[in-house]
Amino acid sequence: MPAAPAFRSEFLRTFVERGAYYDCSAPKDLDRLFEKERVTAYIGFDCTASSMHIGNLVQLMTLRRLQQAGHRPIVLMGGGTTKLGDPSGRDEVRKILTPEQIENNKKSMVAGISHLLKFGDGPSDAIMVDNADWLDELEYIAFLRDIGRHFSVNRMLTMESVKIRLDREQPLSFLEFNYMVCQAYDYVELYKRYGCRLQSCGSDQWGNVVSGIDLGRRVESIQLFGLSTPLITTSSGAKMGKSVSGAVWLNQNMLSVYDYWQFWRNAEDGDVGRFMRIFTDLPLAEIARLEKLEGAELNDAKKILATEATAVLHGRKAAEGASETARKTFEEGEASEDLPIKTIDRDPAQPTGKSTAALIVAAGIARSNSDARNKIKEGVTINGRPVTDPNEIVRWDSADTKTGAFLVEHGKKKKVWVKPK
């Protein structure tokens, strides 16, 4: 990681102090730009799923820091580029989505980050823009003539995202090969429409950003800038962003607030301070105090990390509710009704109940029946009763009388209600 320059502007100083800085183009010029004017900056997100995930969170926090410093963030949704497919970090051609799927994903993704940024018409309010607004209107031959001539195929073949696929002899469609051209064009279009001068990205996307900077210089004679963040791994070296049950989604309908809170509560000891700096709004002095704690007090710091990170995404009330649910469940031994609830259909072929293995899978504690057998060996209870036989039928009429559901527990921290409907 390059050494961070000694910035003078508030935003860039904070960005470095929060541990979010990796590199930037023309640092002195960018620093002066932040000192003299309100900067408009953007980050792009393709509409490939109905929710963003925790891998997007560093970039979203970049936009939040920009807004907190009085600058204007643009959330660029890739309604157009999603139709192409970004080859970066992928081993195979991306599945083509219908226009309806892309539109639905876009609306759902933006709704999931409504607490994280303030959208509106104010000078530093965030705006959502869709690159389909200009990419869908392009006349392809004219676009190739006016924009494509500025791109060297020789250089494009050296881009990491392209080179990896070619080295592995994996397919790279001509459609995907156009992606970096369109992303560069996005940057120039955002400059022309909104005066946008900065694009932020993860360090693995730097090549695409540089292409946009170069295109801005060639076609608009303007200096554009890039700012990158590091790829986040845990202290043990694992890639951040996976929970026991899969991806850590940002939308509440895909991952409950409680499960999101638990993800942060389960952070490794060595990550507490770093994650507080990047993913919460806690003052740096308070973080410095908390990250020095040890033993039981460090667990208290993890709870603070979980509550503050959850408040950023889901709001303070939801975060404190998740924290209270955890307190009741794990400190008072109560099976709170606020725990995650998974609903399942009754199987007509087995109308009286469901096997313990199937119930454990339905709870999201195991990925398959064979995985459920392994979890049973580690220790699983259903409504407080230890499970020993994966094939035993759990009768529907034995559900908890108050909730009509089954409390499935694995270890001390994974507790889920499963409710038949």
- How far apart, in Å, are the Cα atoms of 310 and each of 107, 209, 364? 21, 30, 21
The pLDDT of residue 89 is 47
For the cut 70, the answer to whether the pLDDT of residue 133 exceeds it is yes
The pLDDT of residue 350 is 78
Question: pLDDT band for position 280 (50/70/90)?
Answer: very high
For the cut 50, the answer to whether the pLDDT of residue 24 exceeds it is yes
| Residues 277, 17 contacting (CB under 8 angstroms) | yes
Query: How do residues 41-94 score in pLDDT, each as one tens digit?
Result: 999 999 999 999 999 999 999 999 999 999 999 999 999 989 876 555 444 555
Question: pLDDT band for position 40 (50/70/90)?
Answer: very high
| Residues 25, 192 contacting (CB under 8 angstroms) | no
Beta bridge partners of 225: 198
For the cut 80, the answer to whether the pLDDT of residue 332 exceeds it is no
Average pLDDT, rounded, for the chain:
87
For the cut 70, the answer to whether the pLDDT of residue 376 exceeds it is yes
> What are the structural domain ranges in the chain?
10-229, 256-331, 341-420
Query: How do residues 164-210 score in pLDDT, each as one tens digit?
Result: 666 777 666 666 677 788 899 999 999 999 999 999 999 888 888 99
The pLDDT of residue 246 is 63
- Which range of 27-36, 79-88, 149-158, 295-304 scores highest in mean pLDDT? It is 27-36
Query: How do residues 88-119 score in pLDDT, each as one tens digit?
Result: 544 455 577 889 999 999 999 999 999 999 99
Compare 328 and 365 and report the one with higher pLDDT.
365
The CATH class of the 256-331 domain is mainly alpha
Question: pLDDT band for position 315 (50/70/90)?
Answer: very high
The pLDDT of residue 353 is 87
For the cut 80, the answer to whether the pLDDT of residue 297 exceeds it is yes
Residue % of the chain over a pLDDT of 90: 54
Structure token digits, residue 360: 């454990």
Judged by average pLDDT, the poorest of 1-15, 27-41, 168-182 is 168-182
Q: Is the dihedral of CA 38, 40, 43, 46 positive or negative?
A: positive
Judged by average pLDDT, the poorest of 22-26, 149-153, 160-164, 309-313 is 160-164
For the cut 70, the answer to whether the pLDDT of residue 140 exceeds it is yes
Question: pLDDT band for position 380 (50/70/90)?
Answer: very high
Compare 271 and 417 and report the one with higher pLDDT.
271
The pLDDT of residue 270 is 93
The pLDDT of residue 333 is 59
Q: Do domains 256-331 and 341-420 have the same CATH topology?
A: no
Distance between CA atoms of residues 339 and 261, nearest Å: 11
Judged by average pLDDT, the poorest of 142-146, 240-244, 387-391 is 240-244
Q: Where does 10-229 sit in CATH, by number?
A: 3.40.50.620
Q: What is the mean pLDDT of residues 322-329?
A: 85
The pLDDT of residue 171 is 64
The pLDDT of residue 244 is 44
The pLDDT of residue 94 is 59
Q: What is the mean pLDDT of residues 357-378?
A: 89
For 19: left if phi > 0, alpha if psi spans -120 to 50, otherwise beta; the answer is left
Query: Topology of domain 341-420, per CATH?
Result: 3.10.290
